[in-house]
Structures are given as structure tokens and as C-alpha cells.
Amino acid sequence: MADVNRGNRPLSPFMIGPYYRPQWTSMLSIVHRITGCALALGAVLIVWWLLAAASGPDYFASADWVVTSWLGQLVLFGCLWALLYHFCNGIRHLIWDTGLLLEVDKAELAGKMTVVASVVLTLLVWII
């Protein structure tokens, strides 16, 4: 039975536009899921590179060329950011589990700090 008291509200929160304004916490949740998938793909790339190293110098040279190319380096940089974002966001969730930073303004600030920390850590690791 349909709720007659719904008024003129949309049926789904995913109706972005004039009906729904994305929130920091919801967008970071989506990015967390995407980075988890990206980490799985990055792991496959690293395993392929390691298997190539174990297979012999000719195959390793080909795999190493791919990984050390500008595109391979870009993918590795993205994987590093995904790993550090996932890590920082996990810490944020652990803090939430203690009951802290659950107010909307504090949760948004923690989310922004997560993004900044992941970018800064990625740049530091890449430079080092």
C-alpha cells in the first residue's frame, strides 16, 4: 500500500538534480567502494608483474615495460592513492565505531580530512 503522506518527494535518493543534493558522507562511501574494487585490480597487476619476474627475464622485461611506462606509473599512483584513501577512511569508520564524530558537521569535516590525508600521504610516499 502506497504512503499517501509522501507529498511531492522523490521515490529514490539517487534522483540527483533538483530533488537530492549529494552529501559528503554518501559520496565518500561510494568512493570507498570504488577504491576497494580498484585495489583488487591493482593487486592483479602486481601479481602479474611478480609472476613475470618468476617466469624469466624475457617475460619480465615485457611486464616491467608495461608497469614502468607512463600509463603503468599512473595506474600505480592511482592504486597507491586508493590504498591510502581506503586506509584513512577505515580509520574514520573505526572512530565512528567508538561513537565519536557522528554529528553531521563533524562527519563531513572528518570526510574532508580523510581526502586531504590520503592525497598528502600519497604524494609523500610517491616522493620518498
Q: Which residues are annotated as a binding site for heme?
A: 86
Give the total number of structural domains in the chain. 1
Q: Which residues are annotated as a binding site?
A: 86
pLDDT, tens digit, for every residue of 81-106? 999 999 999 999 999 999 999 999 99
SS3 label, residue 16: strand
Beta-bridge mates of residue 108: none
CATH assignment at residue 42: 1.20.1300.10
Residue 55 lies in a domain: yes
Residue 56 lies in a domain: yes
Residue 5 lies in a domain: no
Residue 91 lies in a domain: yes
pLDDT at 12 over 80: no
pTM of the predicted structure, to 2 decimals: 0.80
What is the rounded CA–CA span in Å between residue 123 and residue 80?
A: 9
pLDDT at 70 over 80: yes
What are the counts of helices (DSSP H) followed by strands (DSSP E) for the chain?
Answer: 4, 0
